[in-house]
Amino acid sequence: MEGGANFIDYVKLHAKSGNGGAGSVHFRREKFIPKGGPDGGDGGKGGSIKIRGNKQLWTLLHLRYKKHIKAENGSNGEGNRRKGADGKDVIIDVPLGTVAKNAETGKIIAEITEDGGQEIILPGGLGGLGNDHFKSSTQQAPQYAQPGRPGMEEWLIFELKLLADVGLVGMPNAGKSTLLSVVSAAKPKIADYAFTTIKPNLGVVSYRDDRSFVMADIPGIIEGASQGKGLGHRFLRHIERNATLLFLIPADEDNLMQTYQMLLAELKKYNPELLDKNRIVAISKSDLLDDELKQEVLNEWESEYKPHFISSIANEGIEKLKDMIWEACKDNSKSTANFK
């Protein structure tokens, strides 16, 4: 199960934006003007904390040991109406699909879904006004300037929810990794035991005429995953962003319908809205079934989503499955699929 530690989809860190610089109290002092008027400059703005989408990143690993992030303070204003320098912003690069939340309230501050897209998560404090702003007919020599406003300080949570057109949902060892390796260039670890996949894998699936869609292999769901059993909540969040869910049920399960109902129940407990997504059901390892057994399964299937039979090893039903996924992706306007 090596390699899982490198997939980090949750980090908590402390961030502070910069304080604004103070305005200046200053008066003109020139050789022939002994009592010049106020000319104090404004303070500079404090640096902000921003996040920026970077499509080269797939994980939050680079933030794992950054527990404190601080932006620069703005500089104080000076005489001769010289404004203080603004504090430098801190820009944190994150993978597409990252959500920034307030750690205490859980409130979402920003969501990044586009490469190069930026969001301010903690704005810097404004600089104070210099005394030049406060002169009036009754107050010709104001001895007052504004202090800079303080920056913001918060504990933040960054969560990554993978952006994919189709998410693979199934029990551990349902054949999800094998399917992804067959239909895409992704090379997930594959072995015949539960929880081989301990991190989500993304694969770009080539379709007809240079078209493509993105498939995510999410670690297997077990009964109780919605309560955090097994790999639980850590991975159910990745399904939230998938436009279509592909339920994969292995042909060697004792009761195929029961397994499907259990998967639905876990998704519903976690987030009922997941059941509103496009849904495709596939029976994997179907080379184990003859035509008679397949017909028996279809006859007994108590669902509007009749299963499609596939075998990744024997390459059976894979092209038809791609057609089904493509049609489902086309139905979803938010899909990332490359339509031509």
91 is written with which tokens? 């820009």
What would the mean pLDDT of 304-318 be, rounded to a whole number?
88
Q: Is residue 110 within 8 Å of 51, Cβ to Cβ?
A: yes
Q: Name the one residue in this structure whose structure tokens are 């307030």.
A: 102
pLDDT of residue 90: 97
- Of the pLDDT bands very low, low, confident and very high (cuts 50, 70, 90), residue 147 is very high
| Shared-domain flag, residues 63 and 143 | yes
Cβ burial of 248 (10 Å; 0-12, 13-18, 19+) is buried
* Domain that residue 243 falls in: 166-331
Q: Do 97 and 222 belong together in one domain?
A: no
Give the pairing type, strands 10-16 and 153-160: antiparallel
**Claim to verify: residue 206 and residue 150 sit in the same structural domain:** no
| 193 in the same domain as 127 | no
Mean pLDDT calculated for residue range 291-298 = 90
338 belongs to a structural domain: no
Task: Tell me, yes or no, whether 130 and 11 share the same domain.
Answer: yes
Tell me whether residue 325 is in a domain.
yes
What CATH number corresponds to the domain at position 285?
3.40.50.300
Do 70 and 178 belong to one domain?
no
Do 149 and 176 reside in the same domain of the chain?
no
pLDDT higher than threshold 80 for residue 29: no
Instruction: Band the pLDDT of 1: cuts 50, 70, 90.
Output: very low
- 155 with 13, same domain: the answer is yes
Domain's final residue, options 160, 176, 198? 160
Q: How far apart are CA 9 and CA 105, in angstroms?
A: 19
- Residue 260 corresponds to which amino acid? Y
Residue 43 lies in a domain: yes
User: Is residue 311 assigned to a domain?
Assistant: yes
Examine the fold and report which residue of 136, 160, 184 is the final residue of a domain before the chain moves on.
Answer: 160
The enclosing domain of 135 has a CATH number of 2.70.210.12
Q: Are 55 and 196 in the same domain?
A: no
Three-state SS for 168-217 is EECCCCCCHHHHHHHHECCCCCCCCCCCCCCCCEEEEEECHHHCEEEEEE
Residue ranges in the chain assigned as alpha helix (H): 176-183, 232-239, 256-270, 291-300, 318-331
| Beta-carbon count within 10 A of 191 CB | 11
Q: Is the pLDDT at 203 greater than 50, yes or no?
A: yes
Q: Are residues 214 and 78 in the same domain?
A: no
Helix (H, G, I), strand (E, B) or coil at 328: helix
Average pLDDT over the chain, rounded to an integer: 81
Q: Considering 103, 136, 160, which residue would you say is the last residue of a domain?
A: 160
Q: In what order do the strands lie in the sheet with 201-206?
A: 201-206, 212-217, 166-169, 244-250, 278-284, 308-309
Per the CB < 8 A criterion, the answer to whether 7 and 36 are in contact is no
Give a yes or no: residue 339 inside a domain: no
Residue owning tokens 């960054």: 158
Domain assignment present for residue 198? The answer is: yes
Count Cα neighbours of 118 within 13 Å in the Cβ-side half-sphere.
10
What's the total number of domains in the chain?
A: 2
The Cα–Cα gap between 226 and 27 comes to 67
* Cα(201)–Cα(217) distance, integer angstroms: 5
Q: Which of 6-15, 83-92, 247-256 has the lowest mean pLDDT?
A: 6-15
Same domain (yes/no): 30, 64: yes
Higher pLDDT, 231 or 49: 49
- Written as six digits, the tokens of 306 are 């009749």
Within-domain flag for 284: yes
